[in-house]
Structure 1
């Protein structure tokens, strides 16, 4: 019965106009986002001050802020607005990075490190301010996020994170098990770190809203226009696509984990970490009041983590590391069903409505990069699972750098050359297959418990 219902859901998805004509690329977000603004492929020659490559958060934020400053901007996107990680992520608008705060100045030096922490600590506020200023319909919730502790070890990790953020004046608070259970709706966790700076959005809707705002500010956006090559043209650049060219003084490379030619060195620096999400049908009012009742999004401290949140219609979205392809599909679906039973037994056998996955761009040290790939060719990459707020903030930084209101010495990251990620292909295989092994091991442990072993 469930298999037939699942088939009907997938069939319904495939007959809709999806971003990538693939029901597992953008899933729930494509099904519920407002329509993208009208765009077309580049045809002929366009003159601009800045060519922005990639219509995700970084590229669209850069385009919006540049256009607001009076620059002529042409955005070139090989697929559709929000095609990459910007349309596939969980939708948690978090502050900072995955690494602990003190690791950042230790790696970058105290001046740049604290500058980066300040920028990214305030980045969720930038996202929500843009949402409000431009009337972006993206289910924005500003009630914080919950990083949930698994056992005593997880609680110790969160206690130290809380101390490091509180030393910097951040509004974070460590919750005990009882308060965590109240806010999560589950007894599974020993505590949680509540970050009041953070929140949730419908991520593809936010990307499309940024695009509409950039267009309204005067930027041009060309979709279905992959960059096939670049060449110097006097003091500027000529950027080629199958249908035309853009001539510009500057190029912003904003492609991150979905980088293709002509900058293979950016892709070589990043290892792909797959991440999937599965969404239930909308829950009833009683269930919605018992699960994440105050509207926070959440994830836990497991190495192969679990994330969960509600969307605007009350669908429960659960996710983890892994790709929904090959043997990963049935393994991860079974894991999602077990996880819901363990965390939220009150949900029962609710049907799933959508599933999707994408790739996170991981650097060797889990820190982002700023590159000058050639004269007047700049970009950030390596978001390591924190793309929404950092991508938006880094896009504004690039606009300020190009406009001359921010000096290179005042950037939050040093200029570095791309360095290939060591053993990248091996790590990508380990990420994908290791996630399957971890989720299968969880199934075996649960089976042993039921059999009394």
Structure 2
């Protein structure tokens, strides 16, 4: 069954509007720290600060988890997904080792927080497999795995026999297996952070968009019906940051899409195999991701990325992307060709040209902090970022935060940016399309 308008979910596939919506900001309030954005980064920063007695305000344009935190595929992954070719020569091997350490520490950090905050988010600590679907992908996959191991991120190559022994579906021929991490329900995770923040005394104002902010020793932010002041401001707004007048030349928002099937029957699950339910990402230039959820559905994401002129982020369906994902579903799982699509959705990640996080501070007082550029790996990285930013605000720079400081490549202004980004995306689509045609030809 094909994707239809009835299957599109403007809130994403993991969250609903909370049954205890927090009030809009409708007064003038003060705090020790103001955080804009109630996703993984914003809520984690708030929780870390509140644990040390800080008075924290969080402003959220919609509701907690509305953005990328509630729309992603739910992979808690370390450094396996890094594209070393984009940054290794620029930062050098020693700094690259520290960056890899940041990504892998993000996994351990989130796993600790499940217990600390009492969050049940269907976490399956299965590890992650980066898999090839055609023999031509093996060289690139092995090279990336080798570099990751040299930089301190352990992984194991699985040949075709080992993949079949693990019960991995046969479309995935070989893979690099990282034992750390796994899959989770990102909606349950972000809502668990929201619940913990409210219990910790963090004041969360939902349906409260930031209109402007004024720098100074005390930063003042303006919303439609109120204002807030604090010595520190944190913009945990990721893909939406350029619309606030910051990082417009450093990151671009890319629209990422997902489809979810109806639940598989017991017979379909048994025939599929996949007993450990490892999260699988492919070795395409624009990866596909494939996973089974706790509700026995299949979720597929990415496949096609889109950049909207002017770094805009309209919350609209992307029917072309959903059709491509449905083709990928049939290519990788031909026995499930009749499985209906339950829902589809889209959201935005932010990408720097070196695919590394963009974190730092700005303003004359250096008291306006920002974090963006998660490049689709935000579950672990942006959660850990909360800890690093909280320490920085309290006066200590963590070594992992220092490791992330580097010169992010600058981007061209519009309309050259639109041309450059979409040309690059078009090239990756062409290369991936060639691989997929080879796979279909071999299957025939």
TM range (shorter): 0.7 to 0.9
Aligned equivalent of 2:247: 266
Structure 1 unaligned spans of 5+: 11-22
Aligned equivalent of 1:397: 388
Deviations 1:34-77 (A, max 9, x none): 94653121110111111111111111111110111111110111
Aligned equivalent of 2:311: none
CA distance in 2 between counterparts of 1:403 and 1:86 reads 25
Cα pair distance change 1:417/1:228, threshold 3 Å = farther
Cα pair distance change 1:416/1:337, threshold 3 Å = closer
Offset at residue 147 of structure 1 (A): 0.4
Offset at residue 232 of structure 1 (A): 3.8
Deviations 1:419-447 (A, max 9, x none): 44564222444467668777887898789
Q: Is 1:356 matched with 2:345?
A: yes
Corresponding residue to 2:327 among 309, 317, 338: 338
Residues 27-38 of structure 1 correspond to what in structure 2 (within 5 A)?
27-30=12-15, 35=18, 38=21
Moved more, 433-442 or 193-202: 433-442
Offset at residue 122 of structure 1 (A): 1.5
Moved more, 183-192 or 246-255: 183-192
Aligned equivalent of 2:309: none
Cα pair distance change 1:241/1:116, threshold 3 Å = same
CA distance in 1 between counterparts of 2:404 and 2:316 reads 40
Residues 257 and 360 in structure 1, CA contact (< 8 A), matched pair in contact too: yes
Matched residue of 1:389: which SS? Answer: helix
Q: Is 1:117 matched with 2:106?
A: no
Aligned equivalent of 1:140: 123
Cα pair distance change 1:107/1:424, threshold 3 Å = same
Offset at residue 252 of structure 1 (A): 0.8
Moved more, 148-157 or 432-441: 432-441
Deviations 1:255-290 (A, max 9, x none): 11122543x232342223322111110001232242
Corresponding residue to 1:293 among 267, 275, 280: 275
Deviations 1:355-407 (A, max 9, x none): 01122211111122223221211122111221111111111100010012336
CA distance in 1 between counterparts of 2:284 and 2:400 reads 38
Aligned equivalent of 1:185: 168
Deviations 1:199-243 (A, max 9, x none): 11111221111111122222111111111111245x211111111
Aligned equivalent of 1:157: 140
Corresponding residue to 1:411 among 396, 402, 417: 402
Residues 257 and 322 in structure 2, CA contact (< 8 A), matched pair in contact too: no
Aligned equivalent of 2:211: 228
CA distance in 1 between counterparts of 2:128 and 2:294 reads 16
CA distance in 1 between counterparts of 2:175 and 2:268 reads 21
Residues 15 and 65 in structure 2, CA contact (< 8 A), matched pair in contact too: no
Matched residue of 2:261: which SS? Answer: strand
Cα pair distance change 1:145/1:179, threshold 3 Å = same
Residues 142 and 198 in structure 1, CA contact (< 8 A), matched pair in contact too: yes
Q: Is 1:255 matched with 2:237?
A: yes
Residues 273 and 432 in structure 1, CA contact (< 8 A), matched pair in contact too: no
Matched length: 432
Offset at residue 291 of structure 1 (A): 4.2
CA distance in 1 between counterparts of 2:47 and 2:316 reads 41
Residues 32 and 55 in structure 2, CA contact (< 8 A), matched pair in contact too: yes
Matched residue of 2:246: which SS? Answer: helix
CA distance in 1 between counterparts of 2:176 and 2:404 reads 27
Offset at residue 416 of structure 1 (A): 5.4
CA distance in 2 between counterparts of 1:433 and 1:102 reads 19
Residues 388 and 400 in structure 2, CA contact (< 8 A), matched pair in contact too: no
Residues 175 and 192 in structure 1, CA contact (< 8 A), matched pair in contact too: yes
Aligned equivalent of 1:381: 372
Aligned equivalent of 2:310: none
Deviations 1:307-334 (A, max 9, x none): 1101111001122333699999554444
Offset at residue 342 of structure 1 (A): 2.5
Aligned equivalent of 1:243: 225
Moved more, 46-55 or 34-43: 34-43
Q: How does the TM-score come out when normalised to structure 1?
A: 0.84
CA distance in 2 between counterparts of 1:218 and 1:409 reads 28
Cα pair distance change 1:403/1:151, threshold 3 Å = same
Q: Is 1:201 matched with 2:184?
A: yes
Residues 258 and 267 in structure 1, CA contact (< 8 A), matched pair in contact too: no
